[in-house]
Amino acid sequence: MSILHELVKEIPLPQMAKVKQTFDDTEIEDVTAVLVTEFEQKKIATTIKPGMSIAVAVGSRGLDRLVEMTKATIDFIKQHGGEPFIVPCMGSHGGATAEGQKAVLEHLGVKEEVVGAEIRSSMEVIKIDELENGLPIYVDKLASEADGIVVINRVKPHTAFRGPFESGIMKMISIGLGKQKGAEACHQLGFKHMAEHVPAMAKIIIDKMPILFAVASVENAYDRIKILEVLLPEDIEAREPTLQEISKASLPKIFFEQIDVLIIDEIGKNISGDGMDPNVTGRYPTPYAYGGPDVSKMVVLDLTEETEGNANGVGTADFTTQKLVDKMDREATYANGLTSTVVGPTHISTAMPSDKTAIQAAIKTCNILDFSKARVVRIKNTLEIGEIEVSINMKEDVETHQQLERITDWYNWNFDQDGNFMKETNDK
């Protein structure tokens, strides 16, 4: 037995139960129909001239019904004589390579044969201007050569800063459309100034580039689209802050103010830029954002397949597993930190041999007198928290909360011979 197993072998694991969390579930059922109506109401057809080449900027996040939104947008452009193509709009994601960024889109289902438009991926950019402080402003070269540019993105709070414009259309234009060099430039002076730089850069790009319109979604707590709007370039600056406030109010959350150990089954770039959403975990990579529960120790067990080995965010946790480390693409992960200038999330947290030992290590170090009374919460990822697992010593918290309902009996942990969760337990 290794010293790591020896140090944690006596740490007890509390019984758990599955708990349903109830949020507002307002959602749009027919995305295509809503978009068509928006296109017509905003007179989008008048922005499209026959024969126009139009770059449709699509990002790396796991947006709800991203494929449907992209296809509906492309179909509309084609119907009015435009010639659309897709450009990956994701800063340094995908390992900051053209091939990697195309692969990210394809993993999300955005493929030429599905959406009806070619993906043209390149990391080449042009400098179109600079801010008064000297920060350069870049735009994807292929997009800059098009007759028009369309941006598709979700509006939501950022994970590392606060301001009127966080994650949304303006950030997509300033950072995503700028590829790795644009992202690097916007991040150069740190997240302390991000709330200022994002809109400043975006406004210059909107002024100098042929931005035709943007498709903006807001998702409910179950990651389903509740609002879907088409914004003309002159409307983006005025409308986006309102959409962001709606998004903030719609955020899912874990309904416990204090947690001793938070277990997260998987992280990945398809879930959040930080691998996991700090707005849910309460663990932020910078001091410029805040909110969420008070978590003593956090454990991350694995990576999503879609993240392609990018483990950005694992350093925010206290413990992880050797299996996650073995899957880690260090170049892709470290490129993320070098671009954002925030390298803490790319660190490798203490890696334990198995799921079980990682959880036991977290309980052992959560600074409570009686380990059997540890308040433990387990989630699949920060996108899917409609159902969570909680420890038996949180029974009263569950029973007295109007938005919580225990839906299983209390059960013991179920590990295989290597100390990793059995598949059926992950499906609980």
The secondary structure of 386-425 as a DSSP string is SEEEEEGGGHHHHHT-TTEEE-S--B---B-TTS-B-HHH
- Let me know how long the chain is: 428
Mean pLDDT of 204-219: 97
81 close to 38: Cβ distance less than 8 angstroms: no
Q: Where are the beta strands (DSSP E) in 285-396?
A: 294-303, 319-321, 350-352, 376-379, 387-391
Task: Provide the token pair at 43.
Answer: 């007179």
The pLDDT of residue 189: 78
3-state secondary structure of 200: helix
Which pLDDT band holds residue 132 (cuts at 50, 70, 90)? very high
pLDDT digits (tens, 9 = 90+) for 10-67: 999 999 999 999 999 999 999 999 999 999 999 999 999 999 999 999 997 779 999 9
Which pLDDT band holds residue 183 (cuts at 50, 70, 90)? confident
Q: Computed from CA positions of residues 307, 313, 315, 319, in that sequence, does the dihedral angle turn out positive or negative?
A: negative
Which candidate, 428, 364, 408, 426, places its Cα nearest to that of 12?
364
Mean pLDDT of 147-156: 96
413 pLDDT more than 80 = yes
79 pLDDT more than 80 = yes
Q: How far apart are CA 291 and CA 313, in angstroms?
A: 17
303 Cβ contact partners less than 8 Å away, ≥ 6 residues apart = 266, 267, 268, 309, 310, 311, 324, 327, 328
Strands 136-140 and 125-130: antiparallel
Which pLDDT band holds residue 161 (cuts at 50, 70, 90)? confident
Which pLDDT band holds residue 110 (cuts at 50, 70, 90)? very high
The pLDDT of residue 172: 93
Task: Provide the token pair at 379.
Answer: 């989630």
- What's the mean per-residue pLDDT of the chain? 93
Q: What share of the chain is helix, strand, coil (3-state, %, to 5)?
A: 40, 25, 40
The pLDDT of residue 16: 98
pLDDT digits (tens, 9 = 90+) for 290-343: 888 999 999 999 999 989 999 999 999 999 999 999 999 999 999 888 888 899
pLDDT digits (tens, 9 = 90+) for 240-281: 999 999 999 998 899 999 999 999 999 998 888 899 999 899
Which candidate, 270, 376, 374, 361, places its Cα nearest to that of 321?
361
Highest mean pLDDT among 62-66, 149-153, 159-163: 149-153
Q: Computed from CA positions of residues 272, 240, 140, 64, in that sequence, does the dihedral angle turn out positive or negative?
A: positive
Q: Where are the beta strands (DSSP E) in 123-271?
A: 125-130, 136-140, 148-154, 211-219, 225-231, 258-267
Of the candidate ranges 186-200, 214-228, 237-251, 289-303, the one whose mean pLDDT is the lowest: 186-200
The pLDDT of residue 360: 98
Q: How far apart are CA 369 and CA 145, in angstroms?
A: 64
DSSP code at position 238: H
Cβ atoms < 10 Å from Cβ of 338: 16
Helical residues (DSSP H) of 147-193, grouped into ranges: 169-171, 179-187
Task: Provide the token pair at 218.
Answer: 């807001």
- Domains of the chain in start order, with CATH, are 3-23+252-426 (no CATH), 31-250 (3.40.50.11440)
pTM of the model: 0.77
Mean pLDDT of 409-424: 92
Mean pLDDT of 408-421: 96
Helical residues (DSSP H) of 290-351, grouped into ranges: 322-327, 330-340
368 close to 260: Cβ distance less than 8 angstroms: yes
What pairs with residue 53 in β-bridges? 83
Q: Where are the beta strands (DSSP E) in 239-293?
A: 258-267
426 pLDDT more than 70 = no
268 Cβ contact partners less than 8 Å away, ≥ 6 residues apart = 275, 303, 304, 305, 306, 307, 310, 381
